[in-house]
Structure 1
Amino acid sequence: ANIQSIMASEKQVNILMQLLDQALAEVDNIEGKLLSYEEMLQSVKEQMDQISQSNRLIQISNTNNGKLLDEIQFLV
């Protein structure tokens, strides 16, 4: 009975090891996806920063155009 108990225990340990290997593989898979998502989000952030900078420049240009128009109207 003792040998059977040891054999059953060894079988359970092997099953547990297989499950742990599968879990580690899944963790690696998820980690890869998260890395990919992080890269995509970084790209989106950079694009948003560029758009924000463009908007600031457009606002400055609009302000300058308004001032220029006021000066032209004052002179005319």
Structure 2
Amino acid sequence: MPGDDNGFREFVDARYMDLLRIAYLLTGSAHEAEDLLQGSLVKVMRRWKRIDDPWPTCGRRWSTSTSACGTDTGVGR
């Protein structure tokens, strides 16, 4: 329902640039970071009403997405 987002838009408005920076650090590419963030936000939006704290959910989605794409982030080296 339009307008019935229970704070999702506010979350995205407030955190978009921070989330995009994190996605960039994970991918090393501005284009891939944007794609990763968009895909993650779509998944989070679908489950928004069931999420108490969106941060762990976003992080889990990014980890899964980068692993599935075979992206080597260099994290943990």
TM bucket (normalised to shorter chain) is under 0.3
Task: Name the structure, 1 or 2, with higher relative contact order (CA <8 Å, separation 6+).
Answer: 2
Give the TM-score of the pair, scaled to structure 2.
Answer: 0.27
